[in-house]
Structure 1
Amino acid sequence: MRLRAAALGLAVGGAVSCAYYNGMWSADHLAKEARRLEASGRDVDARSYWSRAAVKAESMVVGHPNSRWAEDALVLQGEALARSGACARAQGTLALALRSVRDGALRERAALAAAECALEQNDPVGADRELATVVQSRDGRRRSRGTWLAGRAAAARGDYVSAIDWSRRSEEPAAGALRARVLLAAGRAGEAIVLVDTLARGAVREGEWMSLLEDVSRAAGADAASGALDRLLARGRMPAGARGRLLLADADRLFAAGRTAAAAARYARVVQLVSDSVEGQRARVRRIRVLAAQADSLPDLTSARRQLERLTENGGAGAAADEAQALQSLLTRASGSVEAPGLVAFRVAELVRDSLSAPRVAAQLFLAFAAGRPSSIFAPKALVAAAALLPEERDSLLAVLDSSHAGSPYTLALRGDPSPGFVAAEDSLAQALGLEPPAAAALRVRRVAPPVPGPRGPGLDPPPAGPPAPGSP
């Protein structure tokens, strides 16, 4: 009986040990796959695997806290939570690991994960604290990742010299991109662009290129970013889908910078490269948006509207159907502007200027409003708007303002003279257009800057994100 009980105990213990080993193997396997996906630039898929690895590791920690692999499971749980984007949940696990784990390699892994979470939470000082020993690790891989994270922390603190030094000491694929971003942030755009061209010969992930080219555009202009992309595509091997996404983003930057011809060429290239993709569908719609922006007259806008109608009727807009619908609505309103009553015509002129980015047509509409309603208090405002869009006619339009509307609040404000009615006129216009409530403050005499009628129309694109910190991954 005793022998049978002992044998049964050994069997049960062996089964538990085997189950634990299999669970830990599964967690490690998921983590390995997550790292592989990260290396190939598939961050979204990688986070899914990290999340699954965290669940597996946690079950090992809870079910077998005294096992020989308990420390491995605890560190992997914290590491996987951090890499999956769940830093708030990872903090307690990583803090426990750093307090209790005895193995040096495991402690370094936990410290790296804790440093990443500190950076995600905008705590570069905390990241430095976690990295103090890892940057001196005997393990080259962990040391390399540690120096890269230290570079990000230094960049977040504004210590660009240290950030460049740390990034040079790292062999992480993202270290070069970090150094380029730091150079851009430090105002050394020329050096950064040279480095970007060097990086084009290596293995930098699509996501890194997307954000890096955005940074180049912000620091040195859309043309500089476009040139860097051309050199990248000429040298590097990149799937068609990735090329299409980078080219589409480049076209958008060029369009925003007023480089409509270059933007149109980029959109055409996207359509040619990845015709049936989401990027190709968006590029088709945005090519028509460029045609609208290049329009010289209302008939040109009508032509663009008809092209868009044909595209949507044939299903060519695809994933860009909502974008096409918004553009269609604006083009339709612009086409009917000639018959628009009262201030609606002024509103349409603003939409054409601000939402369609079609300055020449907008100028014509402002001039038509002023000519058709010369006694309107807003006729001078329309002339001011037209003068801003037609620099070659500015002097003659200012002469009209002086001769026909010398006492207008808009003429006075343009000259920098006291303008008692300027605020009241602007509030009245906003109220009439249903854009904002009238000013609550009593009318007052004030000296104002020359009025530049601001954007009122809905944009076809979301507002641009603020520039990321140089240390962003």
Structure 2
Amino acid sequence: MRAARRLTLGLASWLVGSGCVYYNGIYNAQAEARLADANLRRDDDGEATTRFQRSAAIAETVLVRHPNSKWRNRARYIAARSGAMAAQCERAMPRLQQLLAGTTLAAGERDRSRLALASCEVRSGRSADARPRLDSMFRSGDRELARQSRIWAARAALSMGDRDAVPAYLANLDAGVLQWELISASMSAREFTRVESLLVQRARVGDYREDVTRALRELLTDGRHDAAERIVAQYDAARVRDDSRARMHYTIGDMLARTGLDSIARRHLYAARTLSQRDTVTAHEANARLALLDLKRVASLRELDTLVARQDSAVWRTSYAREIADRVLLFRLLVGRGEPERASLYLAAEIARDSLRAPRLARTLFLRIARESPTSPLVPDAWYAAALLEPDSAAAWQRRVRLDFGNSAVAARLRGEDPTDRPDFLSTPDLLTLHWTGALRIWTDSVRKLRLPPKPAGSR
């Protein structure tokens, strides 16, 4: 009787223990893996990776705490497959190879293990080994397995630089995650026609990511304005979130403003401001850009002061406006330095032209040097710089340089002669460098002090 009771208690204890292994371990590990697979079907690789990590960790716990459980083989499979899909390949690959060499796996588990192993081969730089394995699974009866095999085969091709093979691997799949990877790879290779084509495809289905703004900048930097316009127009038509569209329009407006295409830039900046919530960063940046585009119209120091004073504090808190404020500070510092050669004023004119993008103000300062400081060695350079900013007067002012300053390096260049033997060919750049270095040192110290946080009350 006692022996029977001990046997019954032992059996009950075993059943309870076995149940705990299953419900607290295997069941939860499998549940996380199923949720991860569901994420993969939705192309949500980030969430899938997180869930595969949890699945692998739970299965590892079963292997450590219950080494003799009947669920051990199941735990090994889950730990290996989930670990591989979570990019934990160092531990997962040897386990997968062991499992595939044995006979414990069911047919579906074997195929999923082969896919997991191939994913690790791609991640570890062995794409040439992975591609044949993946190719063999394209016709699997498991549609999602076949889809994932194509996606990983395309990733293998990408890693090998074989971007032309990717469309064939994708076939009719709507593999958004992979298309973003292909977009990134194509940008790195400067294959901008492909970048545009892929982004238009993603735009048609309303698939927006922050990578779009990077791509727009790359396209615009390469001079592909029409391509950038087409992409944004497609996203507008797809009615993606207003804040996403605002960032795209701001990106184009910002880039076009930097290249002087102000009228088109304004259209995009107005769109960015309209689409943004009033107090968002994008709205403030768009307002700053629109306000400071008017620098192009400024022709005097008084007009510059008026424009600066007209902007409210929200504008000056934006990153772009702070950048402009730093340039204005350097500009003012140079204008205020009154040495007889007027080198600092010449440098201020260059900042107005190149950094502030205020050509009318720059022309005013160049002409001020040329007309008010006739003994300055920079006069021929000032006339020539002003001529470049005033096409209607360019011929007359250049003729003046040739007649009145015929021995200068500038006059020699205008006549098509070699300027290097002229006395001011080296002395003028040296003079500008000397004054630039001194002003820059003072400006850097001023900017640093302005950026320092305020001292606590009562401190010295």
TM-score exceeds 0.5: yes
Cα distance in 1 for partners of 2:395, 2:152 equals 56
| Preserved CA contact (<8 Å) 2:53 2:83 | yes
Cα distance in 1 for partners of 2:431, 2:217 equals 40
Secondary structure (helix, strand or coil) at the match of 2:176 reads coil
Residues 229-251 of structure 1 show CA distances to partners (whole Å, capped at 9, x for unaligned) of 124313x0211111111111121
Aligned to 1:71: 77
Cα distance in 2 for partners of 1:145, 1:155 equals 15
Distance 1:179 1:434, change over 3 A: same
Aligned to 1:264: 266
For 1:106, the aligned partner's letter is S
1:295-310 paired onto structure 2 within 5 Å: 295-308=298-311, 310=312
Aligned to 1:61: 60
For 2:63, the aligned partner's letter is H
Q: 2:4 aligned with 1:7, yes or no?
A: no
1:132-211 paired onto structure 2 within 5 Å: 132-137=132-137, 138=140, 139-148=142-151, 150-151=153-154, 154=157, 159=162, 161-168=164-171, 170-173=173-176, 189=193, 197=200, 200-207=203-210, 209-211=212-214
Distance 1:104 1:198, change over 3 A: closer
| Preserved CA contact (<8 Å) 2:373 2:379 | yes
| Preserved CA contact (<8 Å) 2:366 2:382 | yes
Cα distance in 1 for partners of 2:38, 2:375 equals 72
Alpha-carbon distance, 1:305 to partner: 0.8
Secondary structure (helix, strand or coil) at the match of 2:90 reads helix
| Preserved CA contact (<8 Å) 2:26 2:59 | no
1:222-371 paired onto structure 2 within 5 Å: 222-234=225-237, 236-274=238-276, 275-308=278-311, 310=312, 312=313, 316-317=314-315, 320-331=317-328, 334=331, 339-342=336-339, 343-371=343-371
1:453-472 paired onto structure 2 within 5 Å: none
Cα distance in 1 for partners of 2:29, 2:309 equals 62
Alpha-carbon distance, 1:266 to partner: 1.7
Tell me whether 245-254 or 53-62 shows the greater mean CA deviation. 53-62
Structure 2 unaligned blocks of 5 or more: 101-109, 441-446, 448-460
| Preserved CA contact (<8 Å) 1:302 1:335 | no
Residues 392-418 of structure 1 show CA distances to partners (whole Å, capped at 9, x for unaligned) of 443333323322333334554664615
Of structures 1 and 2, the larger Rg is shown by 2
Alpha-carbon distance, 1:212 to partner: 4.4
Secondary structure (helix, strand or coil) at the match of 1:434 reads helix
Q: Pick from 1, 8, 22 the counterpart of residue 17 of structure 1.
A: 22
Secondary structure (helix, strand or coil) at the match of 1:238 reads coil
Alpha-carbon distance, 1:73 to partner: 2.3
Cα distance in 2 for partners of 1:62, 1:411 equals 83
| Preserved CA contact (<8 Å) 1:173 1:203 | no
Alpha-carbon distance, 1:158 to partner: 5.8
| Preserved CA contact (<8 Å) 1:413 1:419 | no
Tell me whether 332-341 or 164-173 shows the greater mean CA deviation. 332-341
Alpha-carbon distance, 1:419 to partner: 0.9
Alpha-carbon distance, 1:263 to partner: 1.4
Identity of aligned residues (%): 20
Aligned to 1:386: 386
RMSD, matched Cα: 4.1
Aligned to 1:92: 90
Secondary structure (helix, strand or coil) at the match of 1:171 reads coil
1:102-141 paired onto structure 2 within 5 Å: 102=100, 103-112=110-119, 114-115=121-122, 117=123, 126-137=126-137, 138=140, 139-141=142-144
Tell me whether 171-180 or 357-366 shows the greater mean CA deviation. 171-180
Aligned to 1:402: 402
| Preserved CA contact (<8 Å) 1:295 1:361 | yes
| Preserved CA contact (<8 Å) 1:301 1:331 | no
Distance 1:334 1:110, change over 3 A: same
Higher relative contact order at CA 8 Å, sep ≥6: structure 1 or structure 2? 1
Alpha-carbon distance, 1:283 to partner: 1.2
Aligned to 1:452: none
| Preserved CA contact (<8 Å) 2:25 2:58 | no
For 2:21, the aligned partner's letter is V
Larger helix fraction of residues: 2
Cα distance in 2 for partners of 1:97, 1:391 equals 75
Structure 1 unaligned blocks of 5 or more: 83-89, 438-457, 459-473
The alignment of Structure 1 onto Structure 2 pairs a total of residues equal to 409
| Preserved CA contact (<8 Å) 1:164 1:179 | no
Cα distance in 1 for partners of 2:319, 2:419 equals 46
